[in-house]
Amino acid sequence: MKFIVSSQLLVKNLQAVSGVINSSNTLPILDNFLFTIGENTLTVSASDLETTMTTTLQITSKDSGLVAIPSRILLDLLKSFPDTPITFSVNKETLAVRLHSEYGEYNVAGLNGEEFPNPPALANASSVVVPSDLLARAISKTVFATGNDELRPVMSGVYFELKEDGLSFVATDAHKLVKYTRSDVTAQNGASFIMPKKPLNLLKNVLASEESDVTVTYNDTNARFTFGEVTLICRLIDGRYPNYEAVIPKQNPNALTINRLAFLNSVKRVSYFSNKTTHQVRLKIAGSELRVSAEDPDFANNADERLTCSYRGEDMAIGFNSRFLVEMLANLETDQVVLEMSESNRAGILLPSESAIEGEQVLMLVMPVMLND
């Protein structure tokens, strides 16, 4: 079994799927790439049992067959080459793999490709077509807000809500929440499911350079994303997503409008002086002035800044975890942002002052931190 492929083309495709492979696997076969060779095509697969990702590329070959090749040594070797043709020769009986380049020959022991786990078939599935840039943007805007609590696995993923009037993507860790909505793409059949964080990050990385539409196929247990020459299949998180709408305050009479970068940089600077446990920064708003302050009594550290803002509502003081504010402000893009509040012990709503894209809505919620006084 023999084929010839461009080293850089192969590296690009291997890197696209290599993120699936865990550093430690229960099955040794999962430390390998599965090569499925056909006439002038090569399909490369990687899996961790929960997620399987495949990509197809053009090669020169008249043979067909399967072989699993150790991922780390193969990727490290190929990355060291300039763009050059590589000839792969596989002994079908011993599964020994020989690579030949203009620099020399390299031998590695392959494994039986038949042992590689098959991805699940999606029975009774529905599908929706989503532009790649929309999906990449939705993931980028939400995945940072997912949780890491093993006792609440439903919060460790992004909730996809597909409706006839638009698509919503929600992430929360109980301290912060992000809801990203697009009304310019709709689904014929309403559905919802929870996507794990790992495959979402893999998709985000690959979609960054993709221009084609993504076909999302899903049933109760799995989802498949197909675009270009790439397919990703993953197991969905089982469970009921919390009623996130119930925690979003609907009446917020106090609204602060401020330059996003000025606010972001102020919170960053002041946070260096905050308590290292609570990371609390205090916002005190009166008239057109916002005071951002923090203190750490244990080390006698404190900082206080004043910013000009536009404010509608009663004077108030509220505390937030600075790390959450920084994450959210960095994830928004508009020059001006709006912080809506009702009371000092109720969640604050952070919004862009205007939609960056027509049909897009972004809502970010951050829970307050109790002020000392």
Alpha-carbon distances of 350 from 60, 71, 81, 249, 322, rounded to whole Å:
54, 43, 48, 12, 14
CB 320 within 8 Å of CB 347 = no
Rg over alpha carbons for the chain, rounded to the nearest Å, is 25
For residue 179, the number of C-alpha atoms closer than 13 Å in the C-beta half-sphere is 19
> How does 169-186 read in b/e, with b if 16+ C-beta sit within 10 Å?
bbbbbebbbbbbbbeebe
| pLDDT, tens digit, 9 for 90 and up, residues 218-272 | 999 999 999 999 999 999 999 999 999 999 999 999 999 999 999 999 999 999 9
Please determine, for residue 372, whether its predicted confidence score (pLDDT) is greater than 80. Answer: no
The residue to which tokens 């994830």 are assigned: 331
Identity at 101, one-letter amino acid code? S
Secondary structure element (H or E) that encloses residue 247, with its range: none
Residue 18: what pLDDT? 97
Instruction: Specify the pLDDT at position 189.
Output: 82
Confidence of residue 1 (pLDDT cuts 50, 70, 90): very high
Alpha-carbon distance of 369 to 129, in angstroms, equals: 41
Q: Tell me how crowded residue 42 is: count the other CB atoms within 10 A of its CB.
A: 21
C-alpha distances in angstroms, 342 versus 30, 92, 319, 325, 348? 51, 70, 13, 17, 8
Write the pLDDT tens digit of every residue in 123-139: 999 999 999 999 999 99
Taking all residues of the chain, what is their mean pLDDT, rounded to a whole number?
A: 95
365 vs 373: CA distance, rounded Å:
23
CB-neighbour burial class of residue 26 (10 A; exposed 0-12, middle 13-18, buried 19+): exposed
350 touches 338 (CB < 8 A): yes
Q: What is the pLDDT of residue 209?
A: 82
Q: Has residue 34 got a pLDDT over 90?
A: yes
How many angstroms separate the CA atoms of 325 and 214, rounded?
32
Average confidence (pLDDT) over 274-289:
95
pLDDT band with cut points at 50, 70 and 90 for residue 373: low
- φ, ψ for residue 371 (rounded to 5)? -75, 150
Tokens standing for 73?
Answer: 């040594």
Residues 258/336, Cβ–Cβ less than 8 Å? yes
pLDDT digits (tens, 9 = 90+) for 292-320: 999 999 899 999 999 999 999 999 999 99
List of domains in the chain? 2-115 (3.10.150.10), 126-245 (3.10.150.10), 249-366 (3.10.150.10)
Express each pLDDT in 72-107 by its tens digit: 999 999 999 999 999 999 999 999 999 999 999 999
The verdict on pTM exceeding 0.85 is yes
- What is the model's pLDDT at position 136? 96
pLDDT > 70 in the chain, percent: 99
Rounded CA separation 195/314 (Å): 41
